[in-house]
């Protein structure tokens, strides 16, 4: 750290990264005038890959493990980190990133699908630390406080976004297992004291294999284990494919193969096999021998079969499966990209709210909207979406101009409830049992399993739960809204949390507050009833539901989750400020490369930056940082009122134009503020220059639109090329340099 007044800005991926090339020079220039240093750390997927293999790279190519450094910083009181969305890599994304880096001259090993040699096993272990949600558990040393800022909510009410009309005849529904799944098989225990546990598989022949040792736990920690019965999963998927065909609705599968990096790609692979049974009966062995896994999706399969002897026959079998099955929901009907093409294309927390907002429709093969059977195999939270669908079918679409808001307080500190994003998920190798054993040899949790079943465990530390309860009470007191803990007493894990929540609520003054505990479906119905009355309700949820709810409700309320204020008060006093979700980032990059137009909206970044300055002012006594925070808030309000967010198509304001207007309004606010005369004087000439040259800057930004843009790489753009593409206005660049 260069000094105490330092903000760490994360260098991430895709559209957020490209936007950083445009916005960070503005931030750095303005912050410097207040004595605030802005430093960057590379937590991109490409950067994390490179950091794993220093021994294979040249001195110029090597980079530090910035994620590990930030993980340490997050435990320190001086932490002030702005975290932009990053890629939570599925295996196809990881492979694509490796390929691009190899083409750029990085001597990286290929991703070993079935590692045999020690070298391959070592490479696989390193890549496994990078895939999935590898970043968030490291940085989130606090619980989540996420809500729509008043300016965003007011803008949505004044300028309501489009909402598709719902019909009472809609055939859209959720299908979920309800038995033999993760929820129904869950077991939970609270450990009495600090310990080191191990996870082991005991075969039917008595052979014991340690799957993981050295699982450190602390006194009072909640430890859970569960599994999905894969035979039941296959029956369920086959039934839903038949149901979608019989009901004449689109078939879609909604998983999270990014964060749930072990379990959900396997489930996705079973869905691919269930949809194309004849294909895998006839060619399954040949595909497996060629290293083609259904877990990677139909797209990877179709790309790989061209090199096989029966490639044409395999492609014909795919076409036959598509013709014989139900119509499938499409990611891109023009390009023939189906719901089953890429495991990371359809992410539940983004795809389900989008479907609900669009009349309960997804896109069909012919490019039209259709009712859909949304298949969510695990029943833990599927009922939340079914409840919303039922409410829309009964009462119609929500009205953004009048609907209430749903802030979220999410349990996530110290990797709380990180199901699927860790090293405690296993595809069972053989019949027998999987169990969690204490250091004393006591079996704490145990399940009988069959080959191919998906078993997983997770941990939730007592200190994280205490802090979560405290944050919920704090937000309820500050807002006056009811706070509802979304916990189900009939679920093993939730029952343990309910006992702790009731215990720790007694430590706080809750007089006059409405704080209740409800099962997720019940909490959804309660919240929706209040939404339709224009009333706000705080959802207090575990980590997975935090992910789901902070997309579901914002997408309905304000049109996107990218406009949310996301603050993580770190447990040791620092602050982590998140800037919104990145689910749409890939499409925006494609548009930029095709026509030099970046639709990405940085509004969430503006809110995070203001909160970061405010935290810095409070923690370091830097009064000028508070001035930056206050003026940025006002500038963001003007930005919204003047409607300077990116438009959808070439010819309008894109991400770069929105940054110019934010810079203009911010400079004007700084020049007018009375708290710091020197700061006002410093920004007066810039405000005047930007206003005077507004037409010139806008023309320079518009002039580059419409033609292809070369950024030198998708996962690791060339810095010089990306800078040139994202900063095409010489007038703006010169004005910032003069500051």
pLDDT tens figures, 172-210? 999 999 999 999 999 999 999 999 999 999 999 999 999
Domain-located, residue 310? no
Q: Is residue 733 part of a domain?
A: yes
Say if residue 420's pLDDT is above 70. no
Distance CA 559, CA 549 (A): 14
State the pTM of this model: 0.85
Q: Model confidence at 560, in pLDDT bands (50, 70, 90)?
A: confident
How far apart CA 316 and CA 494 sit, in angstroms, is: 48
- Asked if residues 497 and 224 have their Cβ atoms less than 8 Å apart, the reply is no
φ and ψ at residue 419, rounded to 5 degrees: -60, 130
Reduce the DSSP state of residue 426 to 3 states and report it: strand
* pLDDT computed for residue 4 by the predictor: 64
118-128 vs 45-52: helix axis angle to the nearest 10?
Answer: 150
221 located within any domain: no
Is the distance from CB of 143 to CB of 411 less than 8 angstroms? Answer: yes
In the numeric block, the tokens 């869950």 are attached to 186
Q: Is 459 left (phi over 0), alpha (psi -120 to 50) or beta?
A: beta
Comparing CA positions, the residue from 510, 516, 509 lying closest to residue 483 is 516
Residues 6 or more apart whose Cβ sits within 8 Å of residue 488: 494, 519, 520
Please give the pLDDT value at position 25: 98
User: What number is the average pLDDT over the span 665-694?
Assistant: 97
Distance CA 27, CA 6 (A): 12
Query: Which has the minimum average pLDDT: 16-30, 54-68, 581-595, 644-658?
Result: 581-595
**Are 574 and 78 in contact, with CB atoms under 8 Å apart?**
yes
Share above pLDDT 70 across residues of the chain, in percent, rounded to a whole number: 98
Flag whether pLDDT at 370 surpasses 50: yes
pLDDT at position 419 over 70: no
Q: What is the mean pLDDT of residues 583-605?
A: 89
Q: Which two three-digit tokens encode residue 232?
A: 């039941």
Alpha helices in 425-480 (DSSP H): 462-479
Structure confidence at residue 137 (pLDDT): 85
Is 285 part of a structural domain of the chain?
no
In DSSP terms, 337 is beta-bridged to 332
d(CA 484, CA 539): 5
Mean pLDDT, to the nearest integer, of 502-530?
98
Regarding beta strands 144-147 and 408-410, do their DSSP bridges make them parallel or antiparallel, or are they unpaired?
A: antiparallel
pLDDT in tens, 440-480: 999 999 999 999 999 999 999 999 999 999 999 999 999 99
Residue 105 covered by a domain: yes
DSSP letters, 557-606, are: HHS-GGG-EEEEEBTTS-EEEE----TTHHHHHHHHHHHS------HHHH
Cα(616)–Cα(45) distance, integer angstroms: 28
Give the closest residue to 622 by CA, choosing from 24, 2, 31, 75. 31
pLDDT at residue 581 in the model: 65
Number of domains making up the chain: 1
pLDDT at 1 (0 to 100): 34
Q: In this model, does residue 536 exceed pLDDT 90?
A: yes
In a domain, 541, yes or no: no
Three-state SS for 213-270 is EEEEECCCCEEEEEEECHHHHHHHHHHHHHHHHHHCCEEEECECCCCCCCHHHHHHHH
pLDDT in tens, 12-56: 999 999 999 999 999 999 999 999 999 999 999 999 999 999 999
| pLDDT of 146 over the 80 cut | yes
Question: Tens digits of per-residue pLDDT, 408-418?
Answer: 999 999 989 87
Question: pLDDT-based confidence at 421, cuts 50/70/90?
Answer: low
Q: What is the mean pLDDT of the chain?
A: 94
Residue 113 lies in a domain: yes
CB 204 within 8 A of CB 210: no
Nearest to 424, CA basis, from 375, 382, 460: 460
Instruction: Tell me: pLDDT of 261 over 70.
Output: yes
- Rg of the chain in Å (alpha carbons): 26
- Any idea which residue has 């496994």 for tokens? 128
Closest C-alpha among 444, 55, 446, 433 to residue 223: 444
- Per the structure, the complete domain to which residue 26 belongs is given by 6-141+570-738
What's the pLDDT at 3? Answer: 46
Mapping DSSP onto H, E and C, the string for 510-561 reads CCCCCEEEECHHHHHHHHHHHHHCCCCCEEEECHHHHHHHHHHHHHHHHCCH
Over residues 696-721, the pLDDT tens digits come to 999 999 999 999 999 999 999 999 99
Predicted local distance difference test score (pLDDT) of residue 582: 61
In a domain, 454, yes or no: no
Residue pair 426/211 in contact (Cβ under 8 Å)? The answer is yes
| pLDDT given for residue 384 in this prediction | 98
- Mean pLDDT over 408-435 rounds to 89
Alpha carbons 548 and 544: distance in angstroms, whole number: 6
Q: Is the pLDDT of residue 488 over 60?
A: yes
d(CA 55, CA 126): 13
**In terms of DSSP bridges, do strands 369-375 and 173-175 run parallel, antiparallel, or are they unpaired?**
parallel
- Given a cut of 90, is residue 685 above it in pLDDT? yes
Helix (H) or strand (E) holding 201: strand 195-203
What's the pLDDT at 584? 62
Cα gap 113→124, rounded to integer Å: 8
pLDDT tens for 215-232 read 999 999 999 999 999 999
pLDDT of residue 62: 96
């Amino acid at each position: 750290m260069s000094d105490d007044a330092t903000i760490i800005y994360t260098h991430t991926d895709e559209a957020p990264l490209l936007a950083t090339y445009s916005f960070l020079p503005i931030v750095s220039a303005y912050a410097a005038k207040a004595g605030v240093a802005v430093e960057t750390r590379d937590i991109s997927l490409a950067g994390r890959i490179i950091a794993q293999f220093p021994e294979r790279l040249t001195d110029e190519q090597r980079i530090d493990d910035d994620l590990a450094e930030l993980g340490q910083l997050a435990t320190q009181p001086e932490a002030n980190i702005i975290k932009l969305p990053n890629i939570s890599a599925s295996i196809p994304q990881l492979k694509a990133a490796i390929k691009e880096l190899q083409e750029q001259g990085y001597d990286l090993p290929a991703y070993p699908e079935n590692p045999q040699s020690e070298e391959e096993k070592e490479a696989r272990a390193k890549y496994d630390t990078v895939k999935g949600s590898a970043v968030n558990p490291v940085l989130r040393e606090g619980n989540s406080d996420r809500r729509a800022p008043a300016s965003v909510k007011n803008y949505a009410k004044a300028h309501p976004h489009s909402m598709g009309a719902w019909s009472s005849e809609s055939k859209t529904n959720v299908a979920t297992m309800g038995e033999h799944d993760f929820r129904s098989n869950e077991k939970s225990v609270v450990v009495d004291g600090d310990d080191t546990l191990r996870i082991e598989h005991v075969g039917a022949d008595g052979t014991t294999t340690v799957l993981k040792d050295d699982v450190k736990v602390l006194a009072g920690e909640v430890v859970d284990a569960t599994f999905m019965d894969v035979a039941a999963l296959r029956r369920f998927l086959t039934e839903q494919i038949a149901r979608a065909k019989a009901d004449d609705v689109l078939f879609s599968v909604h998983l999270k193969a990014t964060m749930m990096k072990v379990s959900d790609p396997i489930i996705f692979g079973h869905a691919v096999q269930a949809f194309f049974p004849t294909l895998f009966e006839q060619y399954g062995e040949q595909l497996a021998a060629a290293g083609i896994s259904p877990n990677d999706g139909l797209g990877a399969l179709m790309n790989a079969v061209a090199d096989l002897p029966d490639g044409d026959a395999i492609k014909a079998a795919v076409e036959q499966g598509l013709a014989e099955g139900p119509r499938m929901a499409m990611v891109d009907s023009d390009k023939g990209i189906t719901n089953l093409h890429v495991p990371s294309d359809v992410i539940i927390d983004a795809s389900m709210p989008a479907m609900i907002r669009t009349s309960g429709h997804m896109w069909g093969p012919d490019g039209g909207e259709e009712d859909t059977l949304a298949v969510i195999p695990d029943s833990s939270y599927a009922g939340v979406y079914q409840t919303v669908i039922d409410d829309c079918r009964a009462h119609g679409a929500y009205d953004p101009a009048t609907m209430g808001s749903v802030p979220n307080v999410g349990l996530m500190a110290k990797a709380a409830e990180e199901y699927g994003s860790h090293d405690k998920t296993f595809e069972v190798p053989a019949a027998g049992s999987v169990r969690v054993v204490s250091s004393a040899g006591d079996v704490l949790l145990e399940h009988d399993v069959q080959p191919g079943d998906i078993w997983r465990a997770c941990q939730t530390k007592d200190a994280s739960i205490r802090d979560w309860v405290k944050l919920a009470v704090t937000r309820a007191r500050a807002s006056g809204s009811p706070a509802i803990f979304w916990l189900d007493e009939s679920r093993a894990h939730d029952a343990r949390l309910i006992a702790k929540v009731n215990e720790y609520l007694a430590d706080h003054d809750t007089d006059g507050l409405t704080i209740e505990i409800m099962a997720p479906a019940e909490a959804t119905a309660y919240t929706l009833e209040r939404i339709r009355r224009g009333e706000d309700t705080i959802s207090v949820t575990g980590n997975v539901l935090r992910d789901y709810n902070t997309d579901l409700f914002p997408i309905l309320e304000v049109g996107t989750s990218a406009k949310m204020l996301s603050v993580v008060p770190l447990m040791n006093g620092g602050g982590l400020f998140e800037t919104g979700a990145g689910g749409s980032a890939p499409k925006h990059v494609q548009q930029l490369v095709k026509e030099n137009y970046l639709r990405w909206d940085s509004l969430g970044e503006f809110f995070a930056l203001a909160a970061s300055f405010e935290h810095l002012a409070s923690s370091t006594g830097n009064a000028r940082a508070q001035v930056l925070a206050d003026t940025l808030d006002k500038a963001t309000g003007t930005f919204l009122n003047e409607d300077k967010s990116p438009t959808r198509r070439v010819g309008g304001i894109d991400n770069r134009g929105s940054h110019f207007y934010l810079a203009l309004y911010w400079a004007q606010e700084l020049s007018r503020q009375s708290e710091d005369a020197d700061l006002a004087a410093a920004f007066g000439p810039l405000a005047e220059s930007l206003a005077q040259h507004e037409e010139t800057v806008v023309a320079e930004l518009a002039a580059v639109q419409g033609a292809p843009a070369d950024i030198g790489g998708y996962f690791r753009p060339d810095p010089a090329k990306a800078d040139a593409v994202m900063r095409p206005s010489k007038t703006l660049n010169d004005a910032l340099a003069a500051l």
